[in-house]
């Protein structure tokens, strides 16, 4: 792939669902900004190749406006 990680806020379930499935089926990791599994109420997404997920979570937790 071209990206190792992607993140975004203020999303709805229909914005996230298809992409999350593709990343997971390809062996990547997808959570919200807090590292929790996505639900229909999730408004943020962090999708990675899985290798850098914890590092990006740490960076995002340092941002004050992460939901």
Q: Could you report the per-residue pLDDT of 14-61, keeping only the tens digit for each?
A: 999 999 999 999 999 999 999 999 999 999 999 999 999 999 999 998
The CA–CA distances, whole Å, from 29 to 3, 22, 56, 65 equal 13, 10, 11, 22
Architecture of domain 5-61: 3-Layer(aba) Sandwich (3.40)
pTM of the predicted structure, to 2 decimals: 0.85
User: Domain extents for the chain?
Assistant: 5-61
Q: How far apart are CA 67 and CA 3, in angstroms?
A: 23
Backbone angles phi, psi at 48, to 5 degrees: -140, 175
- Residue 6's DSSP bridge partners are 47
pLDDT grade, residue 65 (50/70/90)?
A: low
């Amino acid at each position: 792939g071209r990206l190792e990680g992607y993140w975004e806020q203020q999303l709805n379930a229909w914005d996230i669902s298809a992409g999350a499935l593709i990343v997971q089926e390809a062996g990547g990791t997808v959570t919200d900004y807090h590292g929790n599994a996505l639900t229909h109420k999730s408004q943020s997404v962090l999708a990675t190749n899985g290798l850098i997920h914890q590092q990006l979570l740490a960076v995002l937790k340092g941002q004050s406006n992460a939901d």
